[in-house]
Structure 1
Amino acid sequence: MSGAAEHHGKVWWSELMTRDVKAALHYYETVCGWTISQMPMQDPKMGTYYMGSRNDQPVAGIMDMAPLPGMEEVPPHWFTYFAVADLDAALQATKAQGGEILRPPFDIPGVGRIAIITDPTGAALGIMTPAG
């Protein structure tokens, strides 16, 4: 297999969504030994995205969930993204099996094409076709 197909089904990325980014950064730097780097978000109103790395390899992201609409009552949590070879086919299969599309596909240059969904059990997740 090559390209996106070789990564199909893998846990691709996890990110912490929190309202206390400063405390989270300190915790994961201290407990996990992560080195933190910053990356501006596509939407400047969303602030800064933080990436935790271990041995120069990115391992997870941390972001402020406060600016996200509809998240006022949602507690801080880890959110997982799964790689799929064909995002459109995965979305069709999600709907056919009783899942829901919460956020239609969007592109993040250099990262991939992403959609936010629920599976048939109601669990929220991201699915994405990774870039490159």
Structure 2
Amino acid sequence: MSDNHGKVWWTELMTRDVPAALEYYKTTCGWTISEQPMGKMTYYIAMQDGKPTAGLMDIGATDMPPETQSYWLSYFAVDDVDAAVAQTEKIGGRVHQAPFDIPGTGRIAIVYDPAGAMVGLMTPEPMD
């Protein structure tokens, strides 16, 4: 296994009120925010000391039901997302979003563990 396998790699806030969330975290955590257009939506990257810390996005741009409240989602690094998804299903978890690639970031899947908690799994692209 790689040194990154199993580490918390990324976290993102899925929110219904992006302006309020941005203001809260800028004020409370001292984050600066950069905007990344992604098709019909904007992904916000929170920066601390010039380094990416977390992401924020409008939950309305996802396939989550309209009654879904804002939540934080953590992503764990794994050496092989596809194998991790297969293992998740084998031990009683289920897939929310099948593995997909984000150029410059890595391969990602979102699953529910056997206890029902949503978690992101990702094989990050090597960093320079």
TM-score (norm 2): 0.94
Q: How much has 1:17 moved relative to structure 2? A: 0.6
Question: What amino acid sits opposite 2:96 in the alignment?
Answer: L
Task: Please give the per-residue CA displacement for 1:80-100, whole angstroms capped at 9, x wherever unaligned.
Answer: 111001112111211111010
Q: Percent identity between the aligned chains?
A: 55
Question: 2:114 matched to 1:120?
Answer: yes
Distance in structure 2 (CA, Å) of the matches to 1:77 and 1:101: 18
Q: How much has 1:71 moved relative to structure 2? A: 2.7
Question: 2:18 matched to 1:21?
Answer: yes
Task: Please give the per-residue CA displacement for 1:54-101, whole angstroms capped at 9, x wherever unaligned.
Answer: 101111011001122233111001111110011121112111110101
Task: Please give the per-residue CA displacement for 1:6-61, whole angstroms capped at 9, x wherever unaligned.
Answer: 210001111111111011111111110001001122xx12x100011110111101
**Runs of 4+ more than 6 Å apart:** none
**Residues matched between the structures, number:** 126
1:53 is paired with a residue whose SS is strand
Question: 2:102 matched to 1:103?
Answer: no
Larger deviation, residues 62-71 vs 79-88:
62-71
Distance in structure 1 (CA, Å) of the matches to 2:119 and 2:64: 16
TM-score (norm 1): 0.91
2:60 is paired with a residue whose SS is coil
| Unpaired segments ≥5 residues, structure 2 | none
| Unpaired segments ≥5 residues, structure 1 | none
CA-atom RMSD in angstroms: 1.1
Corresponding position of 1:87: 81
Q: How much has 1:103 moved relative to structure 2? A: 0.9
Question: 2:7 matched to 1:10?
Answer: yes
Corresponding position of 2:71: 77
2:61 is paired with a residue whose SS is coil
